Structure 1
Amino acid sequence: MPDGTPPRPPLARTLRSAEDLHAAGLLPEAAMAGVTAVSTRYSIAVTPGVAALIDPADPADPIARQYLPHPDELVTAPHEQADPTADAPFTPLPGVVHRYPDRALLKPLLACPVYCRFCFRREAVGPDGGLLTEAQLEAALDWFARTPAVREAILTGGDPLMLSARRLGTILQRLAALPHIELLRIHSRVPVAAPGLVTPALAAALELEKPLYLCVHANHAREFTPSARAALGRLHRAGVVLLGQSVLLRGVNDSAEALEALFRAMLRARVKPYYLHQLDPAPGTARFHVPVEEGLALLRALRGRVSGLAWPTYVQETPGGGGKVPLGPALG
């Protein structure tokens, strides 16, 4: 917020419609029709914590840009794809994606605390949750049990930390008990978007005998609020290794200064920057696109300015489900 501007009172609930956003002072009335049209196709969710970070007086606010819907989302550019990461061809059964020989995804639900406007799973995620049934979850866990080539189980979705501590703990314990599973990973927005969900019970559910890595998705330094740092500290004390993943986004972090601030904020929160993703070409996301050449130039601009601990690997998905390939840092 600008200096001298009193903070808005905290919201009591997540904002899920154009009307909610307008009532919270985050959306002008003139924009409501366009956002309502977007909501018929893509879900909206802005948590109280995220809403408090948005400066409604700043038309270029980087937090608002990530989370507030825009009519351009309904425009699909020629290069955009409905399934840019090609999950579908590598899905042997509901909730499982097996693209790499030694690791596989488990998607126990498709609900998130917030819905990012650039998400490559925007067509699938939503508040109905897409929760696997008990039978589907059992089938997925059985698949992991009878696939010994898989050494790493990656929980994603949706956001696995939206599950109850009991259910999440049960899933993790079942996977960790498999002799061939050597490590587990969770991808989540919760610690920065809804840090209040990181309760002592949830942190306790993540205490495993096998290594557990949590990839925290954050794209701007302001997302590391005191509440977010407290949540991450709780996870760190539970023995969870914290990694950071971000997406290079036009208008959010497409400057050397913004990336430096982001990576420094991660390190202060005990999060090691891990991946900087080139934007996946999901439908309606062209306004966030930063060319690869520009991304590489930004990394070159950081050379000598930040610790080696602050460097992520800059990666891009290859077409047709070929997986991620590194783009940098190659600083010749």
Structure 2
Amino acid sequence: MARSPFPVPYGWFCIGWSEDVAVGETKPLQYFGQHIVLWRDEEGASHVQDAFCPHLGAHLGHGGKVLGCEIACPFHGWRFDEDGNNTLIPYSSRTNAKGKVKTYPSVEVNGLIFAWYHPDHVEPMWEVPVVPEFNDPDNFTEPVHRIFQVAAPWQELAENGVDAAHFRYVHNTEEVPELVEYTTTGPIANMKSKQLFPTPRGVVEGYINSDSFGPGLSVVHFGGIIDTVLMGTNVPVDENHCEMRFTFTVRKLGDDAALNSSVGAAFVDEVTRQVREDKPIWENKAFVPRPALADTDGPFTKFRRWASQFYTTPVEAPLDFYPPDGSYPAEELGKSASQKYGSAPIA
């Protein structure tokens, strides 16, 4: 059984927060199994390009300079514009049309910088959405950031989202989400769940609504105690490693900055704790192509069918499972399995 059969998926991927790169700055990065450079021109626009100069291969992110709306190679001063075109060879009267730097389509939205990756260089197939709460400073708190490096492929992390039963055993939570609906439309997957939140004043009924836009972005709305929004992003570093970023905001409770901060911090701390508990499982588990599932496991088949569209090389994994074929001992039948153990019907 292989640990991971997955190649790097295609899609929009977050490669940084807006504040990660200042005007006039270049930043070397490694994602998609590639070396890339992120730079911000003097008009404030961010750009993502292949890191190596097509002249003699110098790394544009190590010593490259931003000059106006162009980036200059540190080796021989060749300049390239936002589309990768060679605009100047300082010791020649001519440019070189073949000396073009590969440019990744990119957008900067919700305080994040996204780059589009496709191994066959296909243009973007959907858009990154604007998330209103991250553009509403009057009503929502300043975003809080967390970042994690995980030695596992994107799909293993994302599959956690449909696996509610693990919350009880990995995270020791008293209540687990109850799936209401899971639907997919093209690159978008939507999951609606009910959630009971324990509080000092008793249990509060709430909800979790999650929208995934391809493999790189999930926007999760939590309601019940206080409106909280999470943007979760995964970017593949290579086939077997990814970088997970969380960006949180919470609806303000009036003008009490300390109260707003404490409520947000408690939520961030809980999510961070859960990721740290998930991480050793993600990094050491194997991918089971045809899992043996319980009748109350989540919609693994629907998720895997949706996820399979983001690979240009087919993943050798059947989209079915071994259904349960036994029963509980008589003494276990006081509660239904879904109440006692878990999640939602498999589908």
User: So what's the TM-score if we normalise by structure 2?
Assistant: 0.24
User: So what's the TM-score if we normalise by structure 1?
Assistant: 0.25
More helix by share: 1
More strand by share: 2
Which structure has the larger Rg?
2
